Structure 1
């Protein structure tokens, strides 16, 4: 059996192997169950590698209570996990912060609207990353041995 795949430009590309594999899968019902079982095992392979969840443990906006705040006040939030903390402040459209314990790595800001922005974390754990003002976001930190994801927050 030979299968031909045509791309958007109208070019034909041989996909003989793909066609033979599909035919073999259709003809062999017991193989399908084995493939499903193997897929389930593969899915669980990294269960111990999941990211730690760091919860919001401090928000200067809440700590201020009912006091009147000025535009000059800086809001600080702290996320705490089992192995690390992430302190964040907003500076215009940038978030600046530090991962404790400090270690170099990568930080990814994920916005609720689909934004993904990345930043390097330096040797002392500091970072700066752009996120839209007012949009909920969460942070993903990968700075060995720390691997965590923060709660969603809006600043």
Structure 2
């Protein structure tokens, strides 16, 4: 496995623009709260660390990962001038096919919201085989996907602004 020995949230090889000029939304699933709270904290702290103003970060909880789709859409419809929305959730494989349906729906739904609004909608949803894999990716030995989501949001917001004429 490629991720077995590395921190996936290492950005030492890339330049991260300042987040100061941008406005962000963060939508976080409440399901698997131990994991999603760690993802949220990683995302929020990373945005602030890279210069985002705390009053330019709009955070909202939703019940589960499936609801991230509607949550992102609601934010983009109702909060003026958002530059990107970070969606954070955690779906852990169980004994039924529910996992497959939810993961597929969330990925496709968030992509559709991004296209509908022509804004970056970041997929920060862990889709793991077990709880330990989720812990490892929510501030554990493989980094924090929330941090990765924040950096991706900053870079995509910067890209969108830099190519507008």
TM-score category of the 2 structures, normalised to the smaller one: under 0.3
Q: Which has the higher strand share?
A: 1
Which structure has more relative contact order (CA 8 Å, sep 6+)? It is 2
TM-score, normalised with respect to structure 1: 0.26
Rg larger for? 1
TM-score, scaled relative to structure 2: 0.25
Higher helix share: 2
